[in-house]
Structure 1
């Protein structure tokens, strides 16, 4: 379900020397992806301290929700699928609770239990024919958000069926971007961007008081932009297939899989969603890719504070 696509470029102009505040930038690898931090600060030493604090915060989140690290709470939930409930931190419980709600909103087009999907599709150019209907159907046998049992009183998560797994590849980086923004704002940083490989949260303004400018790239034309978004307290997330897909008999199949059917999404090459929360924009962009243009449009219309840019397959 998770996209592997960065379609944003930060557009900044040289700031006149009359402004005491400056822009400080840092790039690093976290959660298996490239994160970029942009801060508005007066002092480079203070900026470096903030960079360390936000790095620690992202690492803290990864050590809670990663399904790849063996000792995280989510890994323990997955190991005990069909066996017993696992007590988790309230933060992990509430993130899972929201994810299940997203599944309910989309009737399963979004589903964190897709982590258990059998990999029958190849997106390395080697596939020459479609898998059989039976193989595709059986690939989702362990997928189903209805079997994620949440106990709010005891703060436990239980996966009812053996072989089930949950993972936050679809919203985890957006969540981390939101939490990073929240931390830096609480420390008094007046403006900046937390960019989690294209899923980003912004706040404040540039030193010249102008909003942050985020360019949304055209997936079919390198270095061309579809639109420039102007953000203050905002967020953007993109899902897409222009870098990872397979083409069979002239039809493009995205690496983003429909959790209900096991079939890749078709019809849309990329979806960029903007609003206030990167996590929620993450959810919407992934879901719209699965739902397609017609039903994706109906979904985004339910949330008037969010906007979507949909690029159809050629």
Structure 2
């Protein structure tokens, strides 16, 4: 876990291992006693139905559609797909949810942990860079129709959506006056004004050592890192953050980016953009208000909204 929260007692707390990470949820004065069952079911649903490593779920069936075919999808998948496409449009393709073939080409074909994969004999698959999405979203039926080639990997934005949705349910339906939902560093917190959540950012090379701490009443945090999910493919070092325009692992002096924003999806996407875009450009793309960058020499740089 990269962004870490203050330890609390087990009362009103849920720990769950899913999506190859650890989830930590804590609420205060939640009015729905069954909240742990609801949130656990939601997170496990996302893990099962949105995983690109499975062949028995909704995402796989959608990816297997042929041109002209369509299927009705559940409302959460419909929603996250539209949001992911909107981010692709807003970032001019730097962020893309259609990088599954490229992820597989670079060797990310299994869940972590792994340290090495074999070199592919074929060339890098062509990226999807059309103006329009490879899927048409039919609002009246909740259906998705394939219009072009392109396979979906929701990855980090899927986890961020799971975190954001869980927090929204606990706050709005559960009426919890304060809470934190942490999905392995993708974090959303809220408070009635009295509670301040302590967010610690871990060192990129030493997980147990913090490089910074922040107090946050309301908002979201996401951290991306090119170290934790990296591997050797032949003699090449690879990692999981790809440039949506090239399909290649990003090359940047930055090795870790932590972004604070009003919602978890903005933070998640902006954290990826920090490896591709100068912070002075980054502010135009997502609604974020603080970021913390660590470069390959260990130098830490912090920006606030009024500084970029």
Common topology (TM > 0.5): yes
Normalised by the length of structure 1, the TM-score is 0.77
Task: Quote the offset at 1:84 in angstroms.
Answer: 1.0
Name 2:306's counterpart in structure 1.
none
The reply on whether 1:179 has 2:148 as its aligned counterpart is no
Other-structure match for 2:211:
226
Q: How many residues align?
A: 287
How do residues 2-17 of structure 1 correspond to structure 2 at under 5 angstroms?
Answer: 6-12=1-7
State which of 296, 304, 307 in structure 2 corresponds to 1:313: 296
Bigger Rg, which one: 1
TM-score (norm 2): 0.79
Which structure shows the bigger proportion of residues in helix conformation?
A: 1
Q: Is 2:1 the partner of 1:26?
A: no
Paired residues for 1:1-314 under 5 Å: 6-12=1-7, 23-41=11-29, 49-62=34-47, 64-117=49-102, 119-121=104-106, 138-141=123-126, 143-144=128-129, 146-151=132-137, 152-162=139-149, 164-185=150-171, 186-204=173-191, 209-245=194-230, 254-267=239-252, 268-289=254-275, 291-292=276-277, 294=278, 296-303=279-286, 305-314=288-297
Change (3 A) 1:131 1:107: farther
Measure, in 2, the Cα distance between the counterparts of 1:95 and 1:166.
11
1:204-258 deviation digits (Å, cap 9, x = unpaired): 169xx3400000112144433232121122111111112233589x997533122
CA contact (8 A) 2:240 2:249 kept: yes
Query: Using the alignment, how far apart are the partners of 1:246 and 1:63 within structure 2?
Result: 25
Structure 1 pair 247–77 and aligned structure 2 pair: CA distance change class (3 A) = closer
Aligned partners of 1:12 and 1:213 also within 8 Å: no
1:170 alignment partner, SS class: helix
Secondary structure in 2 matching 1:223: coil
Other structure's SS at 2:17 match: strand
2 CA distance for matches of 1:288 and 1:203?
25
Residues 112 and 168 in structure 1, CA contact (< 8 A), matched pair in contact too: yes
Using the TM superposition, give the Cα deviation of residue 57 of structure 1 relative to its aligned residue in structure 2, in angstroms: 2.4
Unpaired runs of 5+ residues, structure 1, are: 1-5, 15-21
1:252/1:266 contact within 8 Å kept = no
Residues 23 and 297 of structure 1: is their aligned pair in 2 closer, same or farther, counting only changes over 3 Å?
A: farther
Q: Which runs of 5+ in 2 are unaligned?
A: 109-113, 298-308
